């Protein structure tokens, strides 16, 4: 199969669909990979690195889209990219279609086979191609929070781990899933005093076992949450209610009563945030202050560490890319229900029920669309 990797064109997006190491795996499987010039430049991969891995480097995205049978990207295709998609071409990337009518309309029109990273599932009920970004964001949240606690950022002027003779900061993590567990791990590693709140007793059991008691795992009632948040120096918001906006667990009233100079990193901001006073910010200006509480609410945290994020994403996507290339999309989808769950739009039909419902399209079963 001919696989195409265009350079990402969304503002400040430096990640790339395939690393040179991933290219080499595909070439070893007897496929051809076309990479747009400078596609990996932002994270230190030169065209020569790609050529050494066996890729052919082409000058424009138009050439890549014209020749490739499968396009592998990171972000959803922008309007100019969508115009280059063609019937029968495979698109494998993040799509996030539910809130994006123009993109969905264009993908329907293209008649391409559009598989979204974010809806591919696994045996444990997880989303394996979203998980790496939650790991990155969870770990980064502690770096961001540590910085927010510095005096020059408006924080209390506290070191997360304290020093011998001085107590560490109290970090409260709301939600003990992928983001929360990774945040807790970093915070414990830095020597902070860490508490995780969750609504799932299974999650609390896992946290307790995983950290051998070094992290307090507390059931998240309104009462417990209030007590913990008011005592915290740093709060990390990592809740998720699948398919819904994040619940506003930290209220305006809590913010007013929190310690002056304390900080909140609301990682769940991409789902609207779990703090009433949160509003999305960017890496250019990541924080703002409400009632003396520093808020960090960057909606695309992994974008700040695109090199790590690209490697993490490739580790998760590569097995699927290889299967799609080796078997062809039909067989690869039929053989793997989890990959099939990633199919969002195909041959002009919407094949994901939530996307169809959100945007008012009729839903066509993926298997029906596949055999049409
Ligand atoms: N800002 C970013 O750049 C970025 C990057 C990655 C992920 N995220 C977001 O981070 C959030 C968390 O993602 P995740 O992968 O960790 O999800 P996850 O499903 O692994 O974990 C979410 C946890 O929240 C818990 N929860 C739900 N309601 C709760 C409540 N009322 N009180 C306490 N806990 C509750 C769940 O039991 C679950 O354990 C999501 O909104 C995700 O989109 C943001």
CATH of the domain at 20: 3.40.50.720
- Ligand 1: which of 98, 219, 240, 279 to mutate, judged by most atoms within 8 Å of the beta carbon? 240
Residue ending a domain, among 254, 276, 299, is: 299
CA of 365 to the centre of ligand 1 (A): 29
For the question of residue 270 being annotated catalytic, the response is yes
Please check whether residues 310 and 263 belong to one and the same domain: no
The answer to whether residues 273 and 163 belong to one domain is yes
Q: 106 pLDDT exceeds 90?
A: yes
Asked if the structure places residue 290 within a domain, the reply is yes
> Does a structural domain hold residue 125?
no
Which residues sit with their C-beta closer than 6 Å to ligand 1?
Answer: 133-134, 137, 174-180, 197-200, 203, 220, 238-241, 246-247, 249, 267-271, 299-302
Note the pLDDT of residue 162: 97
Question: Are residues 156 and 110 located together in one domain of the fold?
Answer: no
End position of a domain, from candidates 248, 274, 299? 299
Asked if residue 262 and residue 147 are part of one domain, the reply reads: yes
Going 353 to 355 to 357 to 360, the CA torsion angle's sign is: negative
pLDDT in tens, 21-76: 999 999 999 999 999 999 999 999 999 999 999 999 999 999 999 999 999 999 99
Mutation test residue for ligand 1: of 176, 250, 267, the one with most atoms within 8 Å of CB? 267
Average pLDDT estimate for 158-174 = 98
Contact 117, 132 (CB under 8 A): no
Does residue 126 belong to any structural domain of this protein? no
Q: Residue 233: which domain range? A: 131-299
Question: What is the count of structural domains for the chain?
Answer: 2
Cβ neighbours, 10 Å, residue 304: 18
pLDDT, averaged across the chain: 96
| Predicted pLDDT at 137 | 98
> 114 and 192 share a domain?
no
Note the helical H segments in the chain: 20-28, 47-52, 61-67, 79-82, 101-110, 131-148, 178-189, 201-210, 222-231, 252-257, 306-335, 337-340, 353-359, 366-371
Domain termination residue (choose one: 299, 324, 343): 299
Handedness of CA 328, 339, 206, 220 (dihedral sign): positive
The residues pairing with 288 across neighbouring beta strands, listed in sequence order, are 295
At residue 99, the pLDDT reads 83
Residue 80: inside a domain, yes or no?
yes
SS3 211: coil
Is residue 96 annotated as part of the catalytic site, yes or no?
Answer: yes
Q: Which of 106, 193, 266, 270 is catalytic?
A: 270
Ligand 1 centroid from CA 25, angstroms: 33
For 176, the token pair is 């003990």
Residue 243 pLDDT more than 70? no
Answer yes or no: do 41 and 104 share one domain.
yes
Distance 175 CA to ligand 1 centre (A): 6
Residue 150's pLDDT band, with cuts at 50, 70 and 90, is very high
Residue nearest to atom 6 of ligand 1 (CA): 134
Please indicate, yes or no, whether residues 265 and 157 belong to a single structural domain of this protein. yes
Distance CA 329, CA 326 (A): 9
Confidence band of 371 (pLDDT split at 50, 70, 90):
confident
Shared domain for 135 and 266, answered yes or no, is yes
Mean pLDDT of 330-336: 97
**How wide is the angle at C-alpha 124 spanned by C-alphas 340 and 269, nearest 5°?**
85
Q: Range with the lowest mean pLDDT among 30-39, 95-104, 160-169?
A: 95-104
Q: Which residue's C-alpha comes closest to atom 31 of ligand 1? A: 199
Residue where the block lists tokens 């970093």: 186
**43-46: which pairs have CB atoms within 8 A and are 24 or more residues apart?**
43/14, 43/15, 43/16, 43/306, 43/307, 43/310, 44/307, 45/16, 45/19, 45/20
Please report, rounded to a whole number, the percentage of residues in the chain having pLDDT higher than 70.
99
pLDDT computed for residue 241 by the predictor = 82
Which atom of ligand 1 is nearest to 267's Cα?
Answer: 1
119 pLDDT exceeds 90? yes
124 within some domain: no
Q: Is residue 23 part of a domain?
A: yes
pTM given for the model: 0.92
Do 65 and 10 share a structural domain?
yes
Regarding whether 197 and 101 lie in a shared domain, the answer is: no
The pLDDT of residue 175 is 98
Average pLDDT over residues 111-118: 97
Does 239 reside within a domain? yes
Same domain, 170 and 68: no
> What angle separates helix 20-28 from helix 306-335, to the nearest 10 degrees?
30
Question: How far lies 107's CA from each of 60, 102, 112, 127, 341, in Å?
Answer: 21, 9, 7, 22, 17
Determine, yes or no, domain membership for 86.
yes
- By DSSP bridging, strand 293-296 and strand 263-266 are parallel
- Shared domain check, 335 and 277: no
How confident is the model at residue 12, as a pLDDT? 85
CA distances from 284 to 84, 143, 187, 296, 300 (A): 31, 16, 24, 12, 12
Q: 185 by DSSP, 3-state: which?
A: helix
Q: Is 268 exposed, middle or buried (0-12, 13-18, 19+ CB in 10 A)?
A: buried
pLDDT at 98: 87
């Amino acid at each position: 199969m001919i696989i195409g990797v265009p350079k990402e064109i969304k503002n400040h997006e430096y990640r790339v669909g395939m690393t040179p190491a991933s290219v080499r795996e595909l070439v070893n499987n007897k496929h051809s990979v076309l990479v747009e010039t400078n596609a990996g430049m932002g994270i230190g991969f030169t065209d020569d690195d790609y050529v050494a891995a066996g890729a052919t480097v082409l000058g424009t995205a138009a050439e890549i889209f014209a020749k490739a049978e499968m396009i592998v990207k990171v972000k959803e295709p922008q309007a100019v990219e969508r115009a280059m998609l063609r019937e029968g071409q495979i698109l494998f990337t993040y799509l996030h279609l539910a809130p994006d009518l123009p993109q969905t309309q264009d993908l329907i029109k293209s008649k391409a086979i559009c598989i979204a990273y974010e809806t591919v599932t696994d045996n444990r009920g997880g989303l394996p191609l979203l998980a790496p970004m939650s790991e990155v964001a969870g770990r980064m949240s502690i770096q961001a929070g540590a910085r927010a606690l510095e005096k020059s950022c408006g924080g209390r002027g506290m070191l997360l781990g304290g020093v011998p003779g001085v107590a560490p900061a109290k970090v409260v993590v709301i939600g003990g899933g992928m983001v929360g567990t990774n945040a807790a791990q970093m915070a414990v590693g830095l020597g902070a005093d860490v508490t995780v709140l969750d609504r799932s007793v299974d999650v609390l059991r896992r946290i307790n076992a995983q950290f051998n008691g070094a992290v307090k795992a507390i059931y998240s009632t309104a009462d417990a949450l209030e007590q913990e948040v008011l005592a915290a120096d740093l709060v990390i918001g990592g809740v998720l209610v699948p398919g819904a906006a994040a619940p506003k667990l930290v209220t305006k009233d809590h913010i007013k009563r929190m310690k002056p100079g304390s900080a909140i990193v609301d990682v769940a901001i991409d789902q609207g945030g779990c703090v009433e006073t949160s509003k999305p910010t960017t890496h250019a200006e990541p924080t703002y202050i409400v009632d003396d509480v520093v808020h960090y609410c960057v909606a695309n945290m992994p974008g700040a560490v695109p090199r790590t994020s690209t490697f993490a994403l490739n580790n998760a996507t590569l097995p699927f890319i290889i299967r799609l290339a080796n078997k062809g999309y039909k067989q690869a989808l039929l053989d793997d229900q989890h990959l099939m769950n990633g199919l969002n739009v195909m041959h002009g039909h919407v094949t994901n029920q939530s996307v169809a419902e959100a945007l008012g399209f009729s839903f066509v079963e993926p298997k029906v669309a596949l055999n049409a």
